[in-house]
Structure 1
Amino acid sequence: MSCTEDKRLNTELTKLECHFTWKMKKEDTNITDHLIKLEDNLDLYLGQKDGIARTHNSLAYVKYLLGSYEEALTNLEKSVELTKDCYGENCDAGLIVTYGNFAWLHFHMKRYAECKSYLDKLKEIKEQKQPVSTFDVHPRVVGEKAWALFKFSRKYYNRAIECFRIALEMEPERGEWNAGYAIVLYRTETKCTSPEDSTAIQQLRQAIETNPDNDEIKLLLALKLAEFKLFDEAEDLVERALDKSPDSPHVIRYVGKYMRNYGQPVDRSIGLLKRALEGTPNSGFIHHQLALCYKKKKQEFGSHSDCKKFLQLCIYHLEKAITLKSGFIFAMTDLAFLYGEDGQIERADEMFQKALSTVEDKTEDQQAVYLHYGGFQEHRNRSETMAVNYYMKCFKIAPNSRNGIKSAMNLRKIADKHLSKNINDTWALGILEIIEQVKGGNQSTSENCVHLLESTCNED
């Protein structure tokens, strides 16, 4: 192929709407974890051919990123087959993304004739099908883009939200767009003072209306309502979901979470989660939920002889969780804490360091790791100076966030304890001064104070 032809072909490809043009970067996700999730999703859609077709499209892109081009082609072929089965003669719009992926994949494999063939197919679809309403693209394309972004990386949640909004403007009663929009809002919503202020609750209700058989959405609504102590409606939703989908791993895992969080017998949660694990043994999420249940059991027994058994079960399931989902920050911090409780101080410290090396700078996840690492240093490692160091790092990232406020409280307790013994303790006064400086926005002064504290930590 000549340089001019290659450039023309590349120009046509960049205009397509497909996974290859949606700017989903390999470095923005844990590609192995993402692959496992997508493969699990194939079993969880339970006959929803359009959802399985979308998943095969995403799998094809992941396989391409991993260099498995032939496997990528196989997934695209399965997507075409399922789309045709699902939509019959009206399948063209559902094939736009898949054909775009085919064209790009053949281009990367230097199969230029096949690439041109799929570009021609897309031109035929465009000539035959007029855009819906005033939009330039078909709602199925926008909806598939929304789902792809949502599944690929937490970094893309805002882009997914915008795509779901556009898809719903085009097809407001479409169940799968309502469901996707509800789930991503559930994942991202914070700082609501009442159910009436919660956009996620409103959208979850709308999603249930358009997806009356989707029991996972009912459980997400139940969990949201329980946050505001609306237990009667929440528990009714839980019972309805469990009655209709007693064997669905997605349903069981959220039922287990609800029961553990809101006072239901923890043994029942454990039983449900074990059953869910039989259906999806590679779910890091379910292993994590089981670990948290055993942690609650351990706390119930206190100094009882069974306490050690539940501690080991916690550790086992958390180790499984981070093996299956290598970037699982919350499981890492939980595991680090429990290593410390088990007397494995060195392993605990290594796990906290691993968690810190995994998260990005100045994120909510990093803040959570700093907070828990500070707690570990204070209560397990018996080092107040190191605890102050990590509490301060957490506090400085976002002083007014929940974790920032918790860190400030912990810092004040440490300072007050020292000041109760010596009202002129310069180290304790320095901690309080930093808190006030950071809250007041005087960064230069607070930075100098922090450096002084950190130098004290290094001398410890």
Structure 2
Amino acid sequence: MSLTQDTFLKSQLLQLECHFTWALRKEDTNLTDLLIRLEDQIDLEVGREAGVARTYSSLGFVKYLLGSYNEALSNLQRSEELTRQYHGDNCNNCNKMLMVTYGNFAWLHYHMEARWDCESYLNKLKEINEKHPPASSSVPYPEVLGEKGWALLKFSRKYYERAQECFRKALELEPDEGEWNAGYAIALYRTNPDLSSTTDCPVIKQLRRAVHANPDDDVLKVLLGIRLSAYKKFSEAESLVEQALERSPEHPHVIRYVGKFFRNKGSVERSIALLKRALERTPKSSFIHHQLALCYKRKKMSLFQAGSHHSKGAEIQRIRDQCIYHLEEATTLKPSFILAMSELAVQYGENQDISKAEELFHTTFQTAKQENGGCQVVTVYYAEFQQYSKRCEPLAIKHYKEGLRMNPNTVGGRRSTACLKRIAEKRMARNPNDGEALGILGLIHKENGDKHKAIEYYEKALSYVDDDEYLSALCELRLSLQ
């Protein structure tokens, strides 16, 4: 092929909408973990050809990234076969649903230096566009937008916002389509962890729409139940969860989210039993191992709160060992699992393996920086490690402050606020004129937007201590109010 021919062919390929043109970078995910999740998804979607076909198309791209071109080709062929089975005689829908897979075929053949095959798929796509012209040249087909949304959602947490936008655009074109409503609900659920708003929030509204559009999707019902329970809407939440569990008692995704629901509710033993059942079906699920670890952590905390740590020391250690085991499994299966890595480091600290904890925290900080996300989570966990395992309150305060300044409105920010407040109030109970404690309360009010209260505390703090940080913050606040 001449250079001119190759340039022309490449320009055509770059105009396609498919995995190869969606900027899915292997640096943004763990390919081994992604491969496991996609293969598990195929097993779980039996009987749902549309979902399985979509997953095979994504799997083909992952195989390409791993250098397994023949396996990639085989997966794309399976995707096409299942799409045709699902749509049967409805060739219009079938053709539009095949556009992404055909684009993947064209790119894969290009990389395999099979020019004739590459051009053949480009011609097929041209024919589809001519028979079914899109409503606008600037807006892709809703089928393409939807498939792109699902691919982004599966590939990396970094792409959740992009996935949300794809589903939103697809719903503008087809408002009642169940697949796009489900995808948009899940994307919103994952990108909006903040529970400070009301039950009338966009996440719950969209989850309700998705359940209405997909009445047989029990995973969506459980997600809605989990979010409703966070707003203390327990009656409706439990009804949805019990209904989903009754209808899909062996579906691992349903079981694992139901397990999370019961853990949040405080029914730890029931949660453990459900999660272990789910683990039997999907033994390589880092999510389930993490959820089990959190259950054992909750059990351990309950024994401590009941004052049983002296009489039941051996049982507490056994539970801690179980917690550590599942966290180690989760982080082995998914080496970039920031939350599980941070939790594991804390558990090592509780187990008095301080050097192992410090080493893991160092690795986790590095991973979070590379992932461009999760630094606040690691910072807050590291503060807890300093406070409870190393008994170093000054360093704990330093890192809680750092975590709070990163963003006060996230889970990590609110956790930092609560921990700093407890430390300050405990110190002031001993000494109402503790300048550092007053300064901590000043920072809390400053970061949470209460400038007048922050000024009041900083002024009090500076009457007892000479601190450049407090003085600088006070000057900044006064200037902002002028």
Structure 2 length as normaliser, TM-score?
A: 0.85
CA deviation after TM superposition for structure 1 residue 417, in Å: 6.0
Q: How many pairs align? A: 445
Letter of the 1:43 counterpart: D
1:356 and 2:365 aligned? yes
Change in CA separation of 1:3 and 1:362 when aligned onto 2, cut-off 3 Å: closer
Distance in 1 (alpha carbons) for counterparts of 2:434 and 2:302: 39
Determine if the alignment matches structure 1 residue 254 to structure 2 residue 263.
no
Answer whether contact 1:132 1:170 (CA < 8 A) is retained.
no
In terms of mean alpha carbon deviation, does 297-306 or 48-57 score higher?
297-306
Contact 1:283 1:324 (8 Å CA) reproduced: yes
Q: Supply the AA of the counterpart residue of 1:274.
A: K
Map 1:431-450 onto structure 2 (within 5 A).
449=469
- 1:68-88 CA distances to partner (integer Å, 9 max, x unpaired)? 222111111111111111112
Structure 1 letter corresponding to 2:34: H
Q: Which stretch shifts more, 11-20 or 163-172?
A: 163-172
Quote the offset at 1:416 in angstroms. 6.4
Separation in 1, partners of 2:444, 2:257: 38
| Contact 1:253–1:272 (Cα < 8 Å) also in 2 | yes
Matches within 5 A, 1:158-169: 158-169=161-172
Letter in 2 for 1:339: Y
Letter in 2 for 1:19: H
- Decide which of 216, 219, 224 is 1:216's aligned counterpart: 219
Aligned-pair distance for 1:291? 1.3
Deviation at 1:10, TM superposition (A): 0.8
Shift of 1:229: 0.8
Counterpart code for 2:328: E
Checking the alignment, whether the CA contact within 8 Å between 2:286 and 2:333 is kept in structure 1 is yes
Paired position in structure 1 for 2:342: 333
Distance 1:361 1:433, change over 3 A: farther
Q: Supply the distance in 2 between the matched residues of 1:243 and 1:156 (Cα, whole angstroms).
A: 33
C-alpha change, 1:127 and 1:68, in structure 2 (3 Å) is same
Matched residue type, 1:320: E
Equivalent-residue separation in structure 1 for 2:397 and 2:373 (angstroms): 19
Q: 1:309 aligns with which of 278, 303, 318?
A: 318
Q: Which residue of 2 aligns with 1:457?
A: none
1:293 has 2:295 as partner: yes
Amino acid at match of 2:345: A
Q: Which residue matches 1:61? A: 61
Query: Secondary structure of the equivalent of 1:130?
Result: coil
Q: Give me the identity figure in percent.
A: 52
Q: Residues 233, 406 of structure 1: CA spacing in aligned structure 2 closer, same or farther, 3 A cutoff?
A: closer
Distance, in Å, in 1 between the alignment partners of 2:373 and 2:14 is 34
Aligned residue number for residue 18 of structure 1: 18
Does structure 2 conserve the Cα–Cα contact (< 8 Å) formed by 1:132 and 1:139? no
The aligned amino acid for 1:355 is T
Q: Which residue of 2 aligns with 1:123?
A: 126
1:344 lines up with 2:353 in the alignment: yes
Closer/same/farther in 2, CA of residues 402 and 123 from structure 1, 3 Å limit: closer
Unmatched 5+ stretches in structure 2:
456-466, 473-482
Q: Which residue of the partner structure matches residue 93 of structure 1?
A: 96
Counterparts of 1:13 and 1:372, CA distance in 2: 46
Q: Return 5+ residue gaps in structure 1 as ranges.
A: 453-460
* Structure 1 residue 407: Cα displacement: 2.6
Verify the 8 A CA contact 1:339 1:345 in the aligned structure 2.
yes
Q: Partners of 1:226 and 1:354 in 2: how far apart?
A: 35
Q: For residue 43 of structure 2, what is the aligned residue in structure 1? A: 43
Deviation readout 1:137-191 (Å, 9 max, x if unpaired): 3221111011111111222222111111121122222111111111111112225
Task: Name 2:199's counterpart in structure 1.
Answer: 195
> In 1, Cα distance between the equivalents of 2:160 and 2:335?
20
Whether the 8 Å CA contact 2:28–2:371 is kept in 1: the answer is no
